[in-house]
Amino acid sequence: MQIGKYILDKQQEEIVRNEDNYLLVTAGAGSGKTLTILGKISYLVKEKKISENEILCISFTKSSAESLKQKIKQELILEVPTYTFHKLSLEIIKEEYKNYEIASDSLLENIVNEFFEIDIYHNPYLLMIICKYFKEKTKKKELAYQKIMETKKNEIFKLKQLSITFIKLMKCNNYNLKDFLLFLSKIKKSLNYVRYKKEKTILTLILNIYLKYENYLKENKEIDFDDMLLTAIKKVKEVGMKKQLKYIIIDEYQDTSYIRFQLIKEIIKKTNAKLMVVGDDFQSIYKFTGCDISLFLNFKNYFEDAKIMKIEKTYRNSNELIQIAGAFIMKNKKQIKKKLYSEKHLTRPIKILKYKNIRKIFLEIIKELAKKKEQKILILGRNNKDINLLLNDDIQKTNQDKIKIKEYEYLDITYMTVHKSKGLECDNVILINLDNKITGFPSQLPEEKLTRLVTRTKDTYPYSEERRLFYVALTRTKNYVYLLVPKKSPSIFIEELENIMNYLEKENNFFKSLGVFNK
């Protein structure tokens, strides 16, 4: 089977022609999953004679949905309905909510800031409990809280972030106001009284923020994304779907949340549509937004007689890189095992560079890559501010996240976080902030235990999501990935990687040397 100028490989074609009602496709990084989706649509329309309007495509982000829609149009000359989950929800509920506005992405954050910086001052009870929380004994509580806001900025910031995360997880996992009683009963079971008092205080603050947020939405006739999904689920349950559907295709399924899954389940109940979901559990990196990897890993538990198929040939990375990255990610045995391979070969595609001076080693890499003038370079960090490790008078960042280097201004160099790079690829990648510290990679910020109340599954493997994030970083490159590692405090992932490279060298004679340089 051929789509445009590309011929599907054996695994891709078997997936395209599969007739099961429920199909999970696990696709390795750079393995051509979009091509497989295009092949499936072509097969359904041309060979199974299904109308293009009877197929529903869903992708995770607005940009990925639009990209998929355009590829279907260009390669297949078809107009297949292609949505994000939120756009689909809006389409379902638009009649009932035509007078409503969609809430801004920043609304919850703004409500939280206003709560901590204004509202608490005007609420004697909240003032009392937060002063107790911070052990501030000044009698005038307003002055005490003002002192807390000035001297405990980091702690207040963490409380703000926890409040935002808790409410987001709560809504996308279909918890609501009445569940606060359930949360309270759960924390009462703690054997540690100090921990119970602390968590009760935080829950009280979050409850007040939640009420303020929900009241704002109601009074201003606004609806947020999670409410759109919940309302759409309710409507589909009650009246079904207007459109006749025979096939649903979901891309990036590893990023599905509980209520997104519930919406699809209801649509399938009402339409008897078949389902194909495509994704990569190795690249599930949005747990903090409510994405639930168990929906991917336990697909057969949710859909009776489901089939799991794999696309294991990668067209982006070298075979040498994919063997190392695969061994690294599979340290967590809960990930679905895949035997990824590539026909592309490179000697030492992962270069571990240990430095005393990060800018010096960085400029040496740039000098080496500058010999190939047409190649693009991607610098990846764990956090937005990691690029500051490199910046000085000669290395500067523009507003578009482009990096300009004196003497190499003709090079196309971009900086972004690993999260933002998902789904992208580049000729060569440089990974920074591989420090063994709290804000390094892996991030060692303690996960607030209170979020256990609003998550439906437990992920107990150490740094499981950080491991997947690191895998994403390694697999963005078409050629080489340069890991810049401080000599004094190397990331724990680097030691693992070196051990894997050593093992593979001994067992398979992959490399003549490890690519570890001390500069």
Average pLDDT for residues 249-262, to the nearest whole number?
A: 93
Helices 124-133 and 193-219, packing angle to 10 deg: 140
pLDDT band at residue 194 using 50, 70 and 90 as cut-offs: confident
| Residue 286 pLDDT greater than 90, yes or no | no
From the list 255, 262, 258, the residue with the least C-alpha distance to 236 is 262
What is residue 166's predicted lDDT score, i.e. its pLDDT?
Answer: 94
| Residue 448 pLDDT greater than 60, yes or no | yes
Measured distance CA(500)–CA(37) in Å, rounded: 34
Render the burial of 470-507: b for 16+ CB within 10 Å, e for the rest.
bbbbbbbbbbbbbbbbbeeebbbbbeebbebbeebeee
- Calculate the average pLDDT of the chain: 91
Residue 164 CB neighbour total at 10 angstroms: 18
Concatenating the DSSP letter of every residue in 25-61 gives EEE-TTS-HHHHHHHHHHHHHHTS---GGGEEEE-SS
Are the C-beta atoms of 99 and 107 separated by less than 8 Å?
A: no
Average pLDDT for residues 447-456, to the nearest whole number?
A: 82
pLDDT band at residue 519 using 50, 70 and 90 as cut-offs: very low
Average pLDDT for residues 290-307, to the nearest whole number?
A: 91
| Residue 47 pLDDT greater than 50, yes or no | yes
Q: Per residue in 392-406, pLDDT tens?
A: 999 999 988 899 999
| Residue 514 pLDDT greater than 60, yes or no | no
What is residue 447's predicted lDDT score, i.e. its pLDDT?
Answer: 66
Are the C-beta atoms of 403 and 440 separated by less than 8 Å?
A: no
What is residue 511's predicted lDDT score, i.e. its pLDDT?
Answer: 46
What is residue 509's predicted lDDT score, i.e. its pLDDT?
Answer: 58
Query: Would you state the structure tokens that stand for residue 160, as one six-digit string?
Result: 């703000």
Average pLDDT for residues 3-25, to the nearest whole number?
A: 94
R_g (Cα) of the chain, nearest Å: 25
SS3 144: helix
Are the C-beta atoms of 335 and 329 separated by less than 8 Å?
A: yes
Measured distance CA(365)–CA(386) in Å, rounded: 18
Measured distance CA(278)–CA(301) in Å, rounded: 17
Strand pairing of 55-58 and 82-83?
parallel
Are the C-beta atoms of 443 and 418 separated by less than 8 Å?
A: no
Average pLDDT for residues 59-79, to the nearest whole number?
A: 91
| Residue 10 pLDDT greater than 70, yes or no | yes
Average pLDDT for residues 290-311, to the nearest whole number?
A: 92
- Fill in the DSSP letter of residue 475: T
Query: Would you state the structure tokens that stand for residue 350, as one six-digit string?
Result: 């992962």
From the list 148, 113, 519, 126, the residue with the least C-alpha distance to 352 is 519
- CA quadruple 98, 100, 103, 108: dihedral positive or negative? negative
What is residue 508's predicted lDDT score, i.e. its pLDDT?
Answer: 62
Average pLDDT for residues 288-294, to the nearest whole number?
A: 85
Burial class (CB in 10 A: 0-12, 13-18, 19+), 12: buried
Q: Per residue in 106-147, pLDDT tens?
A: 999 999 999 999 999 999 999 999 999 999 887 889 999 999
Measured distance CA(216)–CA(194) in Å, rounded: 34
Q: Who has greater pLDDT, 509 or 418?
A: 418
Helices 319-329 and 492-508, packing angle to 10 deg: 120
Which residues share a beta bridge with 415?
379
Are the C-beta atoms of 121 and 98 separated by less than 8 Å?
A: no
pLDDT band at residue 507 using 50, 70 and 90 as cut-offs: low
SS3 386: helix
Average pLDDT for residues 154-177, to the nearest whole number?
A: 92
